Structure 1
Amino acid sequence: MRATRRSLIFPPAREVQLHDLVGSTSDAGHVSLLLKFAAFAVFFFPSNMIIKPIGAVGTIPIMLALLLLAFWLCSALFGLHNPFRTSHPGRLGLGLLWVGTCASYVALFSGFTGNTNVSAQAAADRWLILILASAGIALVATEAVRTLNDAMSLVRAILAGAFFCCLVALVQFLFRVNPMVWIQEAMPGFTDNGGNTAFQVRGFMTRVAGSTFHSIELAVVCSMLLPLSIWRGIYDRTGHKWLHWAGTGLLVVAIASTVSRSGVLGLVVGMLVFIPFLPRVARRWALVAAPTAMAALFVAIPGLVGTLTSSFTAGQSDPSLTTRTNNYPRVAEMFGELPFLGLGPGNYLPDNALHILDNQYLNSLVTLGLVGFIGMVAYLVLPFISSVLAARASRLPALRSLAGAVAAGGAVAAACSLTFDSMAFPVFALVYPFIVGLGGGTWTMVRREIELRESAVPHQETGGGPPRNGLPVKPSTLNEEAITWTR
């Protein structure tokens, strides 16, 4: 009865073997070098460095993402792959956001919103290109992640970039030096477009941003990737374990160095979602390691406890909180004027810092209207929900934990988008599609696992005859010992 219910959530795909889920020992994965390089490039190349004739979207990460989209479209047009074979809820969310964006974009350029000046059109173009770039990453990542080996290969590339970002943050925090300036100087032909804030002061501490635009962005992105780093530390059998766990520790240190409430929120939400899907031994270790790590951070970073405590207890005396709440009447008024399609994509351009909407959902409501708001909610929430369902359905420990890690990353993105306008930050905007893509790949793998499990049940019950579909194993053999990771 339980298998039947799950098969309704995850309809059967094609006939599969166990190595279709894990990947054989000779399989190095299907993840292309371009996709892995794009994952690393999001963190390595400064998003404020642009090719001036192209404009604000002329950054290396966005151009690589658009190249991925071009390859995906050409592959579909020439029949090299079936784009409808890998449907999943995350792609539905992306599609709904695309529909809302296009509707608002057309309304802006047709003059329906009454705001058709050059600046408004340029902002809409930038938003449209960002969504196209995000789609390129999410669509290619979904189809590239066919096995657990593929997922591990992509996760390594993402975390390599994240660890570089954390090392930059550590240097910034300890020495008040910004290494990203050196990379900017080594990029001839690119122009500094501004917008990044490497250092900020909160209380008695200096907040750092690593290679991201802002300390809040660094905190949220690290919180999103921390569960994937833990998953990698448990299941990656290549390389040195101490390096894997050192990278995980760097993520935690980076979150602390931002002195960000959003980072604390993301850390708590991510761990609450992820820990239940860890193997039993890992769950026990997590209960010991989490308080130990927090205590070590508080001891190692003087003033961290006091600064965080004062930021949480400041209440109405904290300007970062009051500016958020003071903007609610303005949001209601703007939404009432253009409720369905909004001002136009990317067209909330505040005239001063006090009017910045530190809430992606409110920003979408104003700029994309109700139609685009629904799309944004779907884009940020559906990957989290679908990955939780996948994790609950899987019986393969490594796959279950992967789905839980992806769900945790999605939950952090959805929750922290309430505390800052997430899609306005380039690193978050291009890292999150990798979470969507991993969620799509995980959804497909769990669907295959269920078909494999259900196909083997009749043979197990009858106790005789050849295995159905040539399956070499029974469901009871689907365990983590069957997994061999490859480089």
Structure 2
Amino acid sequence: MIEAGFAAIGGLALLYFFFRHSERDAVTLLTIWLALLWLMSARWVFAPLGAVGMPAIVFGVGLMLIWVWARLVPRPSLLADGFQPVRLGFGAYASLVLASYAVAQLRPLTELETTSSARALITLASMGGVALLAADGIRDRIRLEKLLKRLVAVATIVGLVGWLQFFVGVDLSPNMRLPGLSQHAPMMGLRDRSLFEQAYGTTLHPIEFSVVMAVVLPLALHFALFEVQRWKRAGWWVAVTVLAVGCLLSVARSGVVAIGIAMPVLALGWGWRWRFNGAVYGLGFVAVMWALVPGLIGTIRGLFQGMDHDPSIQGRRERVPMVIEQLQENGFLGLGPGTFTPEEYFLLDNAYYGVLLELGWPGVFVVIAMLGSGIGAALVAKRYQDPETRHLSQALIAGIAVMPVVMSTFDALSFQTNAGTTYLLLGAAGALWRITLPDRASAAPPAQERSDKSGHAPSLPEGGDTQRE
């Protein structure tokens, strides 16, 4: 009762702040969602709603309702109209999920399958609300950058929670929750891998923690490189350090793979001098971690050298025939969203297998197309823009590009912090595509010059000049 009272007071305070001091736009709503997603564990839920009672999921469903309402209300200033690649990509994925759900209802479903399938639809609506509101509701570049800076800020806080778990053995995550929530699943606690306790921050698992640190790292590096004020630049470099170290503190292969994808993709937008400097700093970072945390780099190296004898790798290989056998029994659109549960089937540990079994082969292609819509939108946003905008586009591409790779290393779509952050980056890419459209149209070279320039934007300055134009 006391907790409910504190929750009501806190809710009223937030409402007052929202209506009195905020701009009351999509960025403000998405900021609240970011705090709910990152700053508390997914194990805390509203008890009557069960597994979908995560505050971030509930709030995300509200964002979807707001997006639908804004589409129906005849006020064009609420949401942007016209073609939006991310909206198209998500629409194709959502349509396939609904079609697969409808087909699944034609066969007998167990109670667990029915519940899990409904949960999958609610989660999809929540994530879609985030992506669509970001893509259509962020009105300008300033507000977009403010949202992305807040993403880096909350990720840095979670990274520091992971630091405490790893270096001190103090776990703050059980206490990071709203009053009135119930624990849906047991708290994970710290896990040992070799000599070290794996950090997981507020996420569900060390693997997820390492991946989301790597996904946000390119954005933190972008703001560190392009910040003009010295004291703010120092703050962004602190964030870069926290996130980069956090990728290693989980002692997980997926985190190393994620950072091995994100940083080279980001470097594709650099000049050769920046790439050389980045390689030197990267080697220096590894050397410092090797010296300050003895055994950590060797343990991570051993995770890759001993893959042939790793039980988790062997288990995944042994499940391949089981997946193929199950796939042959499924229909063209799979078993239906959310219906393939470990309790009634077997553990997958691979997001592609899950999509393949639940949505069929069309699901795999549509998921990749949805991720590709965000990457494509960011690629187009780079054209004929200033160096800072091009680098921001490349940072978004780097973050999104991690997802298609790590989907093969763990069940990436089932972890809400990772999935939610990816959907937010998709929406941000769509917003940047729309925001830069007038500049691209006015700066496009004449038709006779395009054959010479090949339509590519110039790369970043070789000298690494980070000053704003």
TM-score band by shorter chain is 0.7 to 0.9
Partner of 2:375: 384
- Residues 228 and 467 of structure 2 are in contact (CA less than 8 Å); yes or no, is this contact kept in structure 1? no
Within a 5 Å distance, the mapping from 1:58-457 to structure 2 comes to: 58-81=53-76, 85-111=81-107, 114=108, 116-184=109-177, 187-194=178-185, 197-237=188-228, 240-278=232-270, 282-351=274-343, 355-391=346-382, 393-454=383-444
Note the C-alpha offset of 1:336. 0.8
- Residues 140 and 435 of structure 2 are in contact (CA less than 8 Å); yes or no, is this contact kept in structure 1? yes
SS at match of 1:54: helix
Q: Distance in 2 between matches of 1:406 and 1:226?
A: 10
- Residues 86 and 135 of structure 2 are in contact (CA less than 8 Å); yes or no, is this contact kept in structure 1? no
Moved more, 89-98 or 130-139: 89-98
- String of CA shifts for 1:13-69, please: whole Å, max 9, x gaps: xxxxxxxxxxxxxxx996531111212321112211111111211111112211211
SS at match of 1:368: helix
Instruction: Please tell me the residue identity of whatever aligns with 2:120.
Output: W
Note the C-alpha offset of 1:279. 6.1
Q: Distance in 1 between matches of 2:322 and 2:405?
A: 23
SS at match of 2:349: coil
Q: Distance in 2 between matches of 1:196 and 1:371?
A: 36
SS at match of 2:444: helix
SS at match of 1:327: helix
- String of CA shifts for 1:256-288, please: whole Å, max 9, x gaps: 101111111111111111112146764453233
SS at match of 2:120: helix
Moved more, 325-334 or 375-384: 375-384
Superposition CA RMSD, Å? 2.6
- String of CA shifts for 1:376-418, please: whole Å, max 9, x gaps: 2222333234423443x24311110011001001111111111
Distance verdict in 2 for CA 1:345–1:31, change over 3 Å: closer
Q: Distance in 2 between matches of 1:405 and 1:183?
A: 29
Name structure 2 gaps, 5 residues minimum: 1-22, 448-457, 459-464
SS at match of 1:306: helix
Q: Distance in 2 between matches of 1:315 and 1:141?
A: 40
Q: Distance in 2 between matches of 1:38 and 1:430?
A: 10
Partner of 1:463: none
Q: Distance in 2 between matches of 1:176 and 1:182?
A: 15
Higher RCO (CA-CA < 8 Å; seq separation 6+):
1
Q: Distance in 1 between matches of 2:200 and 2:466?
A: 38
Identity %: 26
Instruction: Please tell me the residue identity of whatever aligns with 1:69.
Output: M
Q: Distance in 2 between matches of 1:140 and 1:125?
A: 23
Instruction: Please tell me the residue identity of whatever aligns with 1:328.
Output: V
Distance verdict in 2 for CA 1:250–1:480, change over 3 Å: closer
Q: How many residues align?
A: 430
Q: Distance in 2 between matches of 1:309 and 1:79?
A: 58
